[in-house]
């Protein structure tokens, strides 16, 4: 765990906007790849103990990423991210939504608009995320979808993942 990396998290409740800014110890090419290719996204997108599974990925403007986050009890939460604008290794934006296995969007919940900006300084890449929700209920739903257990176990889980990754690297 690297604690020297910048991490900003601010919530503007009035404007239903979340700003997340995080620095990663990797060059722009690598970090961009980690955010935009299914093979890599599947390895980190779902917070432990959930695992991520991509059903389809079409990373281009008008395309979508259809994926599931699966709990240890095999409870599956489907989601899709529809890409709006993509500027390679600079930024991408789109709409995030809950859906079913066929990709039909669950209209009970409003979608969240994302814009992710990437910039590199001295082999470190900063990702700035702006998430705008229609309602605070949308944010609440994300928690209700089953993440709560995911982080109550918190850092212990992370240690486990770290060990796994280290073993894979051998």
What is the smallest separation between the CB atom of 157 and another protein, expressed in angstroms?
8
In angstroms, the first-to-last Cα distance of the chain is: 19
Binding site for another protein (CB under 8 A): 1-2, 5, 7, 9, 11, 13-14, 18, 20, 22, 24-26, 30-31, 34, 40, 43-48, 135-137, 139-140, 142-143, 147-148, 150-151, 154, 157-158, 161-162, 165-166, 168-169
What is the smallest separation between the CB atom of 50 and another protein, expressed in angstroms?
9
Question: 62 or 136, CB closer to another protein?
Answer: 136
What is the smallest separation between the CB atom of 3 and another protein, expressed in angstroms?
10
């Amino acid at each position: 765990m690297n604690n020297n990396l910048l991490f900003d998290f601010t919530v503007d409740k009035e404007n239903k906007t979340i700003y997340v800014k995080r620095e990663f110890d990797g060059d722009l090419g690598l970090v961009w790849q980690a955010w935009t290719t299914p093979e890599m996204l599947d390895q980190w997108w779902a917070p432990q103990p959930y695992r991520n599974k991509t059903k389809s990925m079409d990373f281009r403007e008008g395309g979508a990423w259809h994926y599931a986050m699966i709990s240890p009890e095999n409870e599956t939460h489907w989601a899709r991210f529809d890409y709006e604008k993509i500027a390679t290794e600079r930024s991408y934006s789109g709409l995030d939504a809950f859906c079913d296995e066929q990709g039909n969007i669950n209209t009970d919940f409003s979608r969240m608009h994302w814009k992710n900006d990437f910039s590199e300084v001295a082999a470190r890449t900063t990702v700035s995320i702006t998430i705008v929700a229609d309602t605070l209920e949308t944010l609440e739903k994300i928690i209700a979808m089953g993440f709560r257990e995911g982080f109550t176990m918190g850092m212990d889980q992370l240690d486990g993942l770290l060990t796994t990754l280290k073993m894979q690297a051998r």
